[in-house]
Amino acid sequence: MSTQPAVRSGSITAVVLCGALLGPLNSTMIAVALPPMATSLHVDLTTVGWLVTAYLIAMAALQHVAGKLGDR
């Protein structure tokens, strides 16, 4: 008997779990950089809010395309 399927299954599970963890983290970690960015660019919080909104819209729009490419 070979342990290859069990090792491969564990590796696939680890990769999927990392992706599931990094998705929400990626969406929220920009919040740490927002105050310094707003200060250095001399913009108000409304403009910075639009930056975050644009980022999340782009992520949501491209997620479907990335899923289709991943299926191939």
9 occurs within a structural domain: no
39 occurs within a structural domain: yes
Give the CA distances from residue 6 to residues 14, 23, 69, in Å, rounded to whole numbers and listed in that order: 12, 26, 26
Write the pLDDT tens digit of every residue in 15-61: 888 877 877 776 677 778 888 888 998 998 888 888 888 888 888 88
Query: For residue 42, what pLDDT is reported?
Result: 93
Domain that holds residue 43: 23-71
Query: For residue 31, what pLDDT is reported?
Result: 77
Query: For residue 40, what pLDDT is reported?
Result: 92
Q: Are 34 and 52 in contact (CB under 8 A)?
A: yes
37 occurs within a structural domain: yes
Query: For residue 35, what pLDDT is reported?
Result: 85
1 occurs within a structural domain: no
Q: How many domains, the chain?
A: 1
N- to C-terminal Cα distance for the chain?
31
53 occurs within a structural domain: yes
Q: Are 34 and 48 in contact (CB under 8 A)?
A: yes
Residue 65 has pLDDT above 90, yes or no: no
5 occurs within a structural domain: no
55 occurs within a structural domain: yes
